[in-house]
Structure 1
């Protein structure tokens, strides 16, 4: 890392697990952004990470300099068994701004907001998914759709780990969210009800890796249904689809007029955003770029997170996860080689079903 100059924005990353991704991302920020330390417990692993990124390893919050501009607290919040909220509040009380890892409960958020307000610091909850291209496309398209047509229903599928990202997305697509009336099913795998009268169904399909609870994450798949069609975000990395309802004119219903403008010009489905990234590209490119964007936004007054919105997201996250199943960890999940083999088998099955592949040779080669 470059040395900090008089005008550099001085940043410390707290937490060395996912914090590694932040160290990579900070290389993509403005030239005047400099990492001045990695705050961790002092293990050999943490020391190796600090050395690899050319930054000092700090082993106590007291070691963080008072003139630090931002601490990225990539540590689980107090409400979910970590110490991130306590650590964040300590820095905020010193007037140091904080970007806190998701998820964060209403209590976590209000604790940090009060400390930030009291000491003139900034606070935001991190959400790299918000900045991903597919999510940005879906968010913009959903706002456009809901400005034209009212929602009939909202469906979502995911594992429980990224539920906070779903909560934030739902607050940003033009939906009316209050009152909330959501209840879990008896087995805790379905949260259903309504947001301001719009039916909502959130189905959890969670598999927990016995060795790593953050592994095998199923990212949110969200569909907004309206009278004119369904807009779907298949996953936070895409693709994004618009599938209109089939609307027939009077002539078409009578067996003529199939060449009318409405049928000719409306596709049966439209791919608004295409996804062809490998998981390696996601880790080395998409995620660091998204993280860099949100860190930059922390210093941008115009895009500084709104306190009421953060509280709204935290409350909705609590509503979406209250009573949801958190299953026991499993061992023996499919390894990487098995997953590649499964991908190939699915492609072969798709080709054999219709006699032709709908995946271009270019896409095949890129994988």
Structure 2
């Protein structure tokens, strides 16, 4: 493929993912963008019209949903007959109009929510499928920062299906907003850190995502967006004829927690896990099943965001670091 990447902020992840297929960078022309292009040996363009014929455009700029130019740049590429992968979030009406443009031009358009394609999340979803082959999912408990609410809906939908969904009234306490609802018909408890630093929106989250699903046989947890995955078989001790708990029953010999995957550094998250996820999204760009799915995810996100309300504006200082050696010394 001949790929151009529009944007050099989060677009850096896409540049790493595209690798040798990169033939150009589209940006406003800052010194940093020029340096990115020079370091990769490709031209820097400052308008869509300057870009020569390419196969795919990765549009990694704020969409109209966030007041940015990403949607119109995506539209311009589609009109030229270029396949487009656009970074989330994108409003459903924007997606619908861009899908029409893509259909008219005979090309593909997709929204990349990134996180469902991360290796730890894929592992979590694969184990969830194993559970569902045996038992029904009884509940979902999830938490996230509002900045990554859009991809959380995508992940939860891949567990349960999205429809029918409903999001109940919220309660507020501390930095989190909580609500009860349903997704795919499954009871959902959701906590959202509905706060944002207006000058530093990518920081100051207590965490990105945590997801727990429960079935009759136990609880599966994605401890963090980047893993590990934890399987906690349900504690159940049978009773003898006198009603006493049998504390050495065979089912009790299994580990109380099974850890799937391992911890990773944030350096590896940025350098490996995220580019790998982008590569998977590019590989799925032409999958027609993603079109209606993208519309449903965006619609659910819009409805949930309306229930949560606007994020509170915060301006905390840079967080302090807890010495890891002191934590490890306790164990």
| Pair 1:205-2:205 in alignment | no
1:53-202 pair list within 5 angstroms = 53-65=40-52, 67-173=53-159, 175-185=160-170, 187=172, 189-202=177-190
Counterpart residue number, 1:3: none
How far apart, in 2, do the equivalents of 1:47 and 1:292 lie? 24
Q: 1:328 aligns with which of 313, 318, 331?
A: 313
Question: 1:241: how far off?
Answer: 0.8
User: Match for residue 26 of structure 1?
Assistant: 18
Cα distance between partner residues in 2 of 1:252 and 1:332: 62
CA distance change for structure 1 residues 252 and 145 in 2, over 3 Å: closer, same or farther? Answer: farther
The question of 1:216 aligning with 2:204 is answered: yes
Contact map agreement 1:99 1:125 (CA 8 A) in 2: yes
Work out which of the residue numbers 244, 253, 270 in structure 1 matches 2:233.
Answer: 244
* Structure-1 residue corresponding to 2:36: 49
Superposition TM-score, scaled by structure 1 size: 0.82
What are the Cα deviations for residues 38-67 of structure 1, in whole angstroms up to 9, with x where unaligned? 1011112211121122211100111122x2
Mapped pair 1:315 → 2:294: no
Distance 2:90 2:325 in 1: 39
Secondary structure of the residue aligned to 2:90 is coil
**SS of the residue aligned with 1:161?**
helix
Distance 1:344 1:205 in 2: 29
Aligned length: 326
Residue 115 of structure 1: how far off its partner (Å): 0.8
**Secondary structure of the equivalent of 2:190?**
strand
More strand per residue: 2
Offset of residue 320 of structure 1: 3.0
In structure 1, runs of 5+ residues without a counterpart are 1-8, 28-32, 352-356, 358-367
- Structure 1 residues 182 and 252: CA distance shift in structure 2, 3 A: farther
Is the 2:166–2:183 contact (alpha carbons within 8 Å) kept by the matching residues of 1? yes
Q: Please give the alpha-carbon distance, in whole angstroms, between the structure 2 residues aligned to 1:252 and 1:197.
A: 40
Distance in 2, matches of 1:342 and 1:14, equals: 39
Deviates more, 1:15-24 or 1:191-200: 191-200
Compute the TM-score of the two structures, normalised by the length of structure 2: 0.91
Partners of 1:296 and 1:111 in 2: how far apart? Answer: 23
* 1:138-163 Cα distance to aligned partner (Å, 9 max, x none): 00111221232222221111101111
| Mapping of residues 3-42 of structure 1, within 5 Å | 9-27=1-19, 34-42=21-29
Q: Deviations over 1:322-360 (max 9, x none)?
A: 2324121313121xxx32x34444434xx1xxxxx2xxx
Q: CA deviation at 1:205?
A: 2.0
User: How far is the alpha carbon of 1:290 from its aligned partner?
Assistant: 2.1
The 1:133–1:322 alpha-carbon spacing in structure 2 relative to 1, beyond 3 Å, is: same
8 A Cα contact 2:237 2:249, kept in partner: no
Give the secondary structure class of the aligned counterpart of 1:121. coil
Query: Cα distance 1:83–1:191, how it changes in 2: closer, same or farther (>3 A)?
Result: farther
Output the CA distance in 1 between the equivalents of 2:281 and 2:190: 27
The superposition leaves residues 222-266 of structure 1 with CA deviations (integer Å, 9 ceiling, x where unpaired) of: 0112222111111121011111221122329844643332222x3
Secondary structure of the 2:312 match is: coil
Aligned residues: CA RMSD: 2.1
2:285 is aligned with 1:293: no
Structure-to-structure mapping, 1:220-239, within 5 angstroms: 220-239=209-228
Structure 2 unaligned blocks of 5 or more: none
Give the equivalent residue in structure 2 for 1:278: 265
